[in-house]
Structures are given as C-alpha cells and as structure tokens.
C-alpha cells in the first residue's frame, strides 16, 4: 500500500515537472512571439521609409548659381552674341573671347601676330582642355569622334569642305545656336553662323574630342 502511494507521489511530481519544463516554456515562447510580432504589425510603410532615409547618406545639394556666376554669363552672352543657359564651360567662353579680332595668318597660331583656322582650334584646345591637336584641319578630323549635326554641343569642332571630292579646308569651334568661332581668311577670328549660305553649303561634319 505504502509502495503504491509512493509511486503515485512520484508520478504526480513527474507530471508537475513536465508541466513546468514543457508547457510553461511553450506558452512563454508563444507569448514572446506574439509580443515580437505586435510591433512589426504596427510598423507601417511610412515608418520603413523614414528609417531608410535615416540610414542613407544625404544627397549633396547641387551648387547654387551665385550672383557672380550670373554676371559672368550675362557678360559673355553679350560679348559673343549668344543665348547662354549658364551651364557652358566658362573657361572656354573666356578664352575664345580673348581671341576675337586676332588677324588671320596662314601657318601661324599666335594670338598677337595672327592665326589660321586650325592653329586657332589647336590653340584653344591646348589652353582650355590641355589637349594637343595637330595643326592641320585634315589630320584634326582623324583625331575626333564624328557626331551628327543635330547633336553638336559647345566645344565640338566643325569641319568644312567644298565638295565630296575636295579635302577639308576649314575648321572652327561650335558655340551655341548654330554659331561657331573660327579664324576666317577675311576677318580673322570671329563668330559666324552655320546657317550662312557659304558655311551651310560647305559644311561637312562635326567632331568631338574624347
């Protein structure tokens, strides 16, 4: 009888221990899972965006156009007779303006004594971009990547020839609005338009130095 009672007590103790070690932890785990899930359910898409924004580095604000910049572009817009959009290479604009009025001189590339067309283009590219181009309009064409006429941008080189069988005889630097600057045999360094009959008729190609 005593033995039966003892065995029953041990059985009850085992049951109690199994409850505490199995049932209670399982319940606690479910509760913990539910507790962990509750904040996640309340974490909205807006909260996620805000969190990501805090982690991502702030974008650098674009440089604002200063009053000095505006004055610069207005001044050179008037000097060159161009409608500038204030994004053009300032060094290019300043450099070509300094060459305006330089007399034409075949085989030369001097701002004071005179320059021919290829001498002018090669001088500008050396001063502005640090690029050495050959002093020959034909050879210069071999150094550029050809671009379509409707894709020309400021700083590209424009080439002219009188007919498909004739060699390139003239070059200039494209500016804006069909205007380009060059050293003409009559007038020296000046600005002309690709729409002028002579240049429109003899236009051959445009090239970009990469």
Q: Just list the catalytic residues.
A: 117, 170, 182
Token pair 């807006």 is found at 46
Distance CA 56, CA 72 (A): 37
Structure token pair of residue 58:
């702030």
Phi-psi region of 181 (alpha: psi -120 to 50; beta: other; left: phi over 0): beta
In this structure, are residues 76 and 93 in contact, taking their beta carbons and an 8 Å threshold? yes
Which burial class, exposed, middle or buried, applies to 97 when counting CB atoms under 10 A from its CB (0-12, 13-18, 19+)? middle
CA atoms within 13 A on the CB side of 61: 3
Other CB atoms closer than 10 Å to residue 76's CB: what's the count? 18
């Amino acid at each position: 009888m005593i033995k039966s009672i003892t065995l029953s007590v041990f059985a009850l103790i085992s049951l109690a221990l199994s409850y505490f070690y199995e049932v209670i932890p399982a319940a606690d785990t479910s509760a913990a899972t539910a507790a962990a899930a509750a904040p996640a359910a309340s974490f909205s898409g807006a909260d996620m965006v805000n969190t990501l924004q805090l982690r991502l580095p702030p974008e650098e604000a674009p440089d604002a156009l200063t009053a000095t910049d505006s004055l610069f572009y207005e001044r050179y817009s008037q000097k060159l007779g161009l409608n500038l959009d204030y994004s053009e290479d300032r060094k290019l604009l300043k450099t070509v303006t300094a060459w305006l009025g330089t007399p034409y001189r075949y085989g030369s590339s001097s701002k004071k004594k005179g320059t021919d067309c290829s001498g002018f283009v090669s001088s500008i590219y050396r001063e502005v971009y640090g690029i050495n181009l050959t002093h020959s309009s034909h050879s210069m064409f071999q150094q550029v990547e050809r671009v379509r006429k409707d894709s020309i941008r400021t700083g590209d080189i424009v080439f002219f020839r009188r007919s498909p069988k004739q060699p390139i005889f003239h070059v200039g630097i494209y500016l804006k609005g069909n205007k380009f600057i060059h050293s003409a045999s009559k007038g020296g360094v000046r600005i002309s338009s690709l729409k002028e009959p002579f240049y429109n008729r003899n236009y051959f190609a445009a090239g970009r130095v990469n």
